[in-house]
A and B are shown apart, each in its own frame.
Chain A
Amino acid sequence: MRQGNTGWRPNGAPLPRPGLPTDLSSWHCSVSQPEGTMPAFIHLFAVCLLLSLPLFSVAQIDTLLQLPTVEISETSVRSQVTGGRTRNWDRADLRAFAHTNLAEWLGQQSGLYIKSYGSGSIATTSIRGGSAAHTSVLWNGLPIPSPMLGQLDFSLFPLGFIDRAQLTYGGNSAAWGSGAIGGVLSLSNEMPGDSTAGLDLRSTLGSFGFQDYQLSGYYRQGRLGFQTRLFYRSADNDFRYRIRPDLAEQVRTHAALQQSGILQSAYWKPDARQQLSIHVWAQQSDREIPPTTVQNQSLATQADRFIRTALHWKRIGPQMIWQARLGLFREIIDYRDEQIRLQALTGFWTTQAEVSGSRAWNGNHHLQFGITHNWVTARADAYARPPEQNRTAPFLVYRYHLGDWTLQFNLREEIVDGKLQPLVPGLGLEGPVSRHLRFRAKVSRNYRLPTLNDLYWQPGGNPDLLPESGWSQEAGLEWRAVTGAHSWSLGITAFNRHIDNWILWSRPDGQSFWSSNNITKVWSRGLEYRAEWGWRSSDWQLQLSTAYDYIRSTNEIGITSPKLERGEQLIYVPEHQAFGQARLQWRQLQLQYRHTYTGPVGSLNVGQLSGYDLGSTGLTYHLEKSNWGSRLYLQINNLWNVPYRVIERQPMPGRHFQLGLQLYFRRPTGSQVHQPIP
Chain B
Amino acid sequence: MRQFFICLLGSISLSFVSAQTTATFESFGLAPDNFLDGGDNSGGFSDGNVFLPNSYNFDYGSWSGWAISSMTDTLTAGYTNQFSAITGGGYDDSDTYAVTFASPFSNLILTEGAAGGTVEGLYVTNNTYAYLSMLNGDSFAKKFGGETGDDPDFFLLTIKKYLNGTLSTDSIDFYLADYRFEDNSQDYIVKEWTYLDLTALGDADSLQFSLTSSDVGQYGPNTPAYLCLDQITTLDVATPVKDYLTDVAVRIFPNPTAEQVTVHWPQHQTGNALLLDAQGQIIKREQLFSGDNQIGMQELPAGPYRIRIQSEDGFLTRQIIKQ
A3 CA to B67 CA in the complex, in Å? 12
Among A67-75, A288-296, A309-317, A439-447, which stretch is in contact with chain B?
A288-296
> Chain A residues near B142 (CB, 8 Å)?
292, 294-295, 605, 649
Nearest chain B CB to A476's CB is how many angstroms away?
A: 34
Nearest chain B CB to A514's CB is how many angstroms away?
A: 8
Tell me whether B101 and A605 are in contact (CB under 8 A): no
Interface membership of B103, Cβ < 8 A: yes
Which of A337, A340, A562 makes the CB contact (< 8 A) with B218?
A: A562
Tell me whether A562 and B147 are in contact (CB under 8 A): no
A505 CA to B220 CA in the complex, in Å? 12
A window 523-579: CB within 8 A of B: 561-564, 571
> Chain A residues near B63 (CB, 8 Å)?
4-6
Tell me whether A507 and B220 are in contact (CB under 8 A): yes
Nearest chain A CB to B189's CB is how many angstroms away?
A: 14
Nearest chain B CB to A503's CB is how many angstroms away?
A: 15
> Chain B residues near A562 (CB, 8 Å)?
218-220
Tell me whether B37 and A1 are in contact (CB under 8 A): yes
> Chain A residues near B139 (CB, 8 Å)?
13-14, 289, 292, 295, 298, 300, 337
Interface membership of A663, Cβ < 8 A: no
> Looking across the interface, which residue of chain B has its beta carbon closest to that of A5?
B62
Nearest chain B CB to A282's CB is how many angstroms away?
A: 29
Given contacts A294-B142, A342-B80, contact A243 B147 (CB under 8 A): yes
> Chain A residues near B60 (CB, 8 Å)?
2, 5, 458-459, 513
Which of B59, B77, B140 makes the CB contact (< 8 A) with A9?
A: B140
A10 CA to B218 CA in the complex, in Å? 11
Tell me whether B64 and A563 are in contact (CB under 8 A): no
> Looking across the interface, which residue of chain B has its beta carbon closest to that of A244?
B148
Which of B67, B77, B136 makes the CB contact (< 8 A) with A4?
A: B67
Tell me whether A294 and B217 are in contact (CB under 8 A): no
Tell me whether B78 and A295 are in contact (CB under 8 A): no
Interface membership of A418, Cβ < 8 A: no
> Chain B residues near A298 (CB, 8 Å)?
139
A window 1-54: CB within 8 A of B: 1-11, 13-14
Interface membership of B55, Cβ < 8 A: yes
Tell me whether A563 and B218 are in contact (CB under 8 A): yes
Interface membership of B57, Cβ < 8 A: yes
Interface membership of A673, Cβ < 8 A: no
A window 335-357: CB within 8 A of B: 337, 339-342
A300 CA to B139 CA in the complex, in Å? 9
> Looking across the interface, which residue of chain A has its beta carbon closest to that of B138?
A295
- Total interface residues in chain A, CB < 8 Å: 47
Interface membership of B82, Cβ < 8 A: yes
A529 CA to B284 CA in the complex, in Å? 65
> Chain B residues near A340 (CB, 8 Å)?
76-81, 138
Interface membership of B61, Cβ < 8 A: yes
> Looking across the interface, which residue of chain A has its beta carbon closest to that of B55?
A512
Tell me whether B140 and A512 are in contact (CB under 8 A): no
Tell me whether B37 and A4 are in contact (CB under 8 A): yes
Given contacts A7-B82, A294-B146, A341-B80, contact A2 B220 (CB under 8 A): no
Tell me whether A5 and B78 are in contact (CB under 8 A): no
Most buried by A among B57, B103, B140, B216: B140
The interface bits of chain B over 215-233 (1 if a CB of A lies within 8 angstroms of the residue's CB, else 0) are: 1111110101110000000
* Main secondary structure on A side of the interface with B: loop
> Chain B residues near A623 (CB, 8 Å)?
none
Interface membership of B143, Cβ < 8 A: yes
Interface membership of B266, Cβ < 8 A: no
Tell me whether A4 and B219 are in contact (CB under 8 A): no
Tell me whether B218 and A604 are in contact (CB under 8 A): yes
Tell me whether A513 and B62 are in contact (CB under 8 A): yes
Tell me whether B143 and A341 are in contact (CB under 8 A): no
A3 CA to B103 CA in the complex, in Å? 15
B window 35-87: CB within 8 A of A: 37, 39, 55, 57, 59-64, 67, 76-82
A341 CA to B216 CA in the complex, in Å? 25
Nearest chain B CB to A286's CB is how many angstroms away?
A: 18
Nearest chain B CB to A70's CB is how many angstroms away?
A: 43
Most buried by B among A2, A247, A337, A512: A512
Tell me whether A512 and B64 are in contact (CB under 8 A): yes
Given contacts A4-B64, A292-B139, A513-B60, contact A605 B222 (CB under 8 A): yes
A5 CA to B137 CA in the complex, in Å? 21
A583 CA to B219 CA in the complex, in Å? 45
> Looking across the interface, which residue of chain A has its beta carbon closest to that of B139?
A13
> Chain A residues near B140 (CB, 8 Å)?
9, 11, 13
Nearest chain A CB to B16's CB is how many angstroms away?
A: 39
Most buried by A among B77, B79, B224: B79
B window 144-161: CB within 8 A of A: 146-148
> Chain B residues near A243 (CB, 8 Å)?
147-148
Which of A10, A341, A514 makes the CB contact (< 8 A) with B78?
A: A341
> Chain A residues near B61 (CB, 8 Å)?
1-2
Tell me whether B219 and A459 are in contact (CB under 8 A): no
Most buried by B among A7, A13, A243: A7
> Chain A residues near B147 (CB, 8 Å)?
243, 293-294, 649
A513 CA to B55 CA in the complex, in Å? 12
> Looking across the interface, which residue of chain A has its beta carbon closest to that of B102?
A6
Interface membership of A297, Cβ < 8 A: yes
> Looking across the interface, which residue of chain A has its beta carbon closest to that of B216?
A605
The interface bits of chain B over 199-241 (1 if a CB of A lies within 8 angstroms of the residue's CB, else 0) are: 0000000000000000111111010111000000000000000
Nearest chain B CB to A513's CB is how many angstroms away?
A: 7
Interface membership of A384, Cβ < 8 A: yes
Tell me whether B143 and A6 are in contact (CB under 8 A): no
Tell me whether B57 and A459 are in contact (CB under 8 A): yes
A294 CA to B225 CA in the complex, in Å? 18
> Looking across the interface, which residue of chain B has its beta carbon closest to that of A571?
B218
Tell me whether A295 and B137 are in contact (CB under 8 A): yes
> Chain B residues near A384 (CB, 8 Å)?
59
A46 CA to B21 CA in the complex, in Å? 77
Tell me whether A342 and B62 are in contact (CB under 8 A): no
Which of A293, A300, A604 makes the CB contact (< 8 A) with B217?
A: A604
Tell me whether B62 and A4 are in contact (CB under 8 A): yes
> Chain B residues near A337 (CB, 8 Å)?
78, 139
> Looking across the interface, which residue of chain B has its beta carbon closest to that of A4?
B63
> Chain A residues near B222 (CB, 8 Å)?
9, 605
> Chain A residues near B224 (CB, 8 Å)?
7
Nearest chain A CB to B299's CB is how many angstroms away?
A: 15
> Chain B residues near A11 (CB, 8 Å)?
140, 217, 219
A window 318-373: CB within 8 A of B: 337, 339-342
Tell me whether B219 and A9 are in contact (CB under 8 A): yes
Given contacts A294-B147, A340-B77, contact A3 B62 (CB under 8 A): yes
Given contacts A14-B139, A294-B137, A605-B217, contact A4 B148 (CB under 8 A): no
> Looking across the interface, which residue of chain A has its beta carbon closest to that of B136?
A296
A295 CA to B140 CA in the complex, in Å? 9
The 5 closest A-B pairs by CB, nearest first: A340-B78, A5-B62, A295-B137, A294-B142, A605-B217
- Listed A/B pairs (16) with beta-carbon separation below 8 Å: A2-B61, A4-B62, A6-B103, A7-B224, A8-B62, A11-B140, A292-B142, A295-B136, A295-B143, A340-B76, A340-B80, A341-B76, A513-B57, A561-B220, A563-B220, A571-B218
- A interface residues (Cβ-Cβ under 8 A, vs B): 1-11, 13-14, 243-244, 247, 289, 291-298, 300, 337, 339-342, 384, 458-459, 505, 507, 512-514, 561-564, 571, 604-605, 649
Given A6-B64, A7-B226, A341-B76, 5 other A-B contacts at CB below 8 A? A2-B61, A9-B219, A341-B78, A605-B217, A649-B142
